[in-house]
Amino acid sequence: MAITHNLGFPRIGAQRELKFAQEKYWRGEIDSTELATCGKQLRSKHWQQQSPLDFLPVGDFSFYDQVLDMSFALGNIPSRAVNQNNANNTELDTYFRVARGRSSKDTDNSCIHAGEMTKWFDTNYHYIVPEFTQDSTFSLHSEKLLLQISEAKSHGANVKPVIIGPVTYLHLGKEKDTSNKLALLDRLLPVYQQLLAELANAGVEWVQVDEPILVTELDQEWKQALEHSYQFLKNSPVKLLLATYFGPLQDNLAVISQLPVSGVHLDAINAKHEVADLIKSLPASSVVSLGVINGRNIWKTDLSTTLNWLEPIANELQERLWIAPSCSLLHVPVDLESEEQLDPEIKSWLAFAHQKLDELTTLQTALNEGRNKVSSELEANQTAINSRHQSTRVNNPVVQQAVANITPSLGQRQSNFNTRSKLQKEHIKLPLYPTTSIGSFPQTAQIRAARLRYKKDQISESDYTLLMQQEIQYAVDQQEALGLDVLVHGEAERNDMVEYFGEQLQGYAFSQFGWVQSYGSRCVKPPILFGDISRPKAMTVKWTQYAQSLTEKPMKGMLTGPVTILNWSFVRDDQPRSLSCYQLALAIREEVQDLEKAGVNIIQIDEAALREGLPLRQSQWQEYLQWAIESFRISANGVEDNTQIHTHMCYSEFNDIISAIADMDADVITIETSRSDMELLDVFDHFNYPNDIGPGVYDIHTPNTPTQAHIVELIEKAAQRIPAERLWINPDCGLKTRQWEEVIPALQNMVSAAQTLRQQKLKAAS
Ligand SMILES: CN1c2c(nc(N)[nH]c2=O)NC[C@@H]1CNc1ccc(C(=O)N[C@@H](CCC(=O)N[C@@H](CCC(=O)N[C@@H](CCC(=O)O)C(=O)O)C(=O)O)C(=O)O)cc1
Ligand SMILES: N[C@@H](CCS)C(=O)O
Ligand SMILES: [Zn+2]
pLDDT of residue 79: 86
Q: What is the mean pLDDT of residues 522-534?
A: 98
Give the tens place of pLDDT for each residue, 71-83: 999 999 998 888 6
Question: Is the confidence at residue 111, as pLDDT, over 90?
Answer: no
Q: Given a cut of 70, is residue 106 above it in pLDDT?
A: no
Question: Measured from the CB, is residue 527 less than 6 Å from ligand 2?
Answer: no
The confidence score (pLDDT) of residue 764 equals: 87
CB atoms within 10 A of CB 663: 15
Ligand 1 proximity of 525 Cβ (cutoff 6 Å): yes
Pocket test for ligand 2, best of 497, 543, 649 (most atoms within 8 A of CB): 497
Contact 521, 513 (CB under 8 A): no
Instruction: Band the pLDDT of 652: cuts 50, 70, 90.
Output: confident
**Does ligand 2 come within 6 angstroms of the Cβ of 671?**
no
CB 739 within 8 A of CB 705: no
pLDDT digits (tens, 9 = 90+) for 316-368: 999 999 999 999 999 999 999 999 999 999 999 999 999 999 999 999 999 99
- 234 has binding-site annotation: no
566 lines ligand 1 (CB under 6 A): no
17 in a labelled binding site: yes
Mean pLDDT over residues 29-52, rounded?
97
Judge if the beta carbon of residue 494 lies within 6 A of ligand 1.
no
Q: How far apart are CA 387 and CA 521, in angstroms?
A: 37
Q: Which atom of ligand 1 is nearest to the CA of 525?
A: 27
Model confidence at 178: pLDDT above 80: no
pLDDT of residue 109: 52
Ligand 3 centre to CA of 733 (Å) is 4
Pocket test of ligand 1: the residue of 524, 607, 700 to mutate, having most ligand atoms within 8 Å of its CB, is: 524
For position 727, what pLDDT does the model report? 98
Residue 701 C-alpha to ligand 1 middle, in angstroms? 15
- Concerning whether 113 is annotated as a catalytic residue, the answer is no
Q: Which amino acid is at 320?
A: R
Surface-to-core class of residue 162, CB atoms within 10 Å of its CB (0-12 exposed, 13-18 middle, 19+ buried): buried
Give the fold, CATH level 3, of 3-390. TIM Barrel (3.20.20)
Ligand 2 atom 4: residue of nearest CA:
734
Ligand 2 center to residue 380 CA distance, Å?
Answer: 42
Q: pLDDT, tens digit, for every residue of 671-715?
A: 999 988 999 999 999 999 999 999 999 999 888 899 999 999 999
Q: Whose CA is nearest to atom 13 of ligand 1?
A: 518
- pLDDT tens-digit series, residues 537-596: 999 999 999 999 999 999 999 999 999 999 999 999 999 999 999 999 999 999 999 999
Residue of 126, 171, 354, 701 with catalytic role: 701
Give the per-residue pLDDT at 86.
62
Q: Has 480 been labeled as part of a binding site?
A: no
pLDDT at position 604: 99
743 touches ligand 2 (CB under 6 Å)? no
Show Cβ contacts of residue 628 under 8 Å, excluding neighbours closer than 6 positions: 563, 581, 610, 613, 660
Q: How confident is the model at residue 105 (pLDDT cuts 50, 70, 90)?
A: low
Give the closest ligand to the alpha carbon of residue 743.
2
CB 354 near ligand 2, within 6 Å: no
Rounded mean pLDDT, 100-123? 76
pLDDT tens, residue by residue, 367-411: 999 999 999 999 999 999 999 999 999 999 999 999 999 999 999
Q: Which of 522, 563, 736 to mutate to test the pocket of ligand 1 (most atoms within 8 A of CB)?
A: 522
Model confidence at 28, pLDDT cuts 50, 70, 90, reads very high
User: Is the CB of 18 within 6 Å of ligand 1?
Assistant: no
Q: What percentage of the chain carries pLDDT values higher than 70?
A: 98
> φ, ψ for residue 460 (rounded to 5)?
-80, 170
CA dihedral 566, 571, 573, 575 (to 10 degrees): -40
Distance of CA 494 from the midpoint of ligand 1 (Å): 10
567 is known to lie in a ligand binding site: no
For 27, 203, 208, 295, the CA distances from 160, given in Å and listed in that order, are 35, 10, 7, 18
* pLDDT value of residue 468: 98
Fold of 421-765: TIM Barrel (3.20.20)
Is 438 annotated as belonging to a binding site?
yes
Atom of ligand 2 nearest to the CA of 439: 7
CA dist., res. 10 & res. 49, Å (int): 12
pLDDT higher than 60, residue 107: no
The number of CA neighbours under 13 Å toward the Cβ of 414 is: 11
Counting from 1 in the atom list of ligand 1, the atom nearest the Cα of 124 is 11
Look at the pTM and tell me if it is higher than 0.90.
yes
Mean pLDDT of 408-424: 98
Distance separating alpha carbons of residues 680 and 131, to the nearest angstrom: 20
Q: Which residues pair with 206 in a beta bridge?
A: 239
Could you tell me the distance, in angstroms and rounded to a whole number, from the CA of residue 665 to the centre of ligand 2?
20
Q: Is 740 annotated as a binding-site member?
A: no
Is 3-390's fold the same as 421-765's?
yes
For residue 558, the CA-to-ligand 3 centroid distance in Å is 12
Task: Convert the pLDDT of each residue in 246-295 to its tens digit.
Answer: 999 999 999 999 999 999 999 999 999 999 999 999 999 999 999 999 99
Rounded mean pLDDT of the chain? Answer: 96
pLDDT digits 0-9 by tens, 713-751 = 999 999 999 999 999 999 999 999 999 999 999 999 999
State which ligand 1 atom lies nearest to the alpha carbon of 443: 45
pLDDT at 103 exceeding the cut of 80: no
Q: What pLDDT score was predicted for residue 114?
A: 82
Distance from C-alpha of 359 to C-alpha of 292, rounded to nearest angstrom: 10
| Residue ranges of domains in the chain | 3-390, 421-765
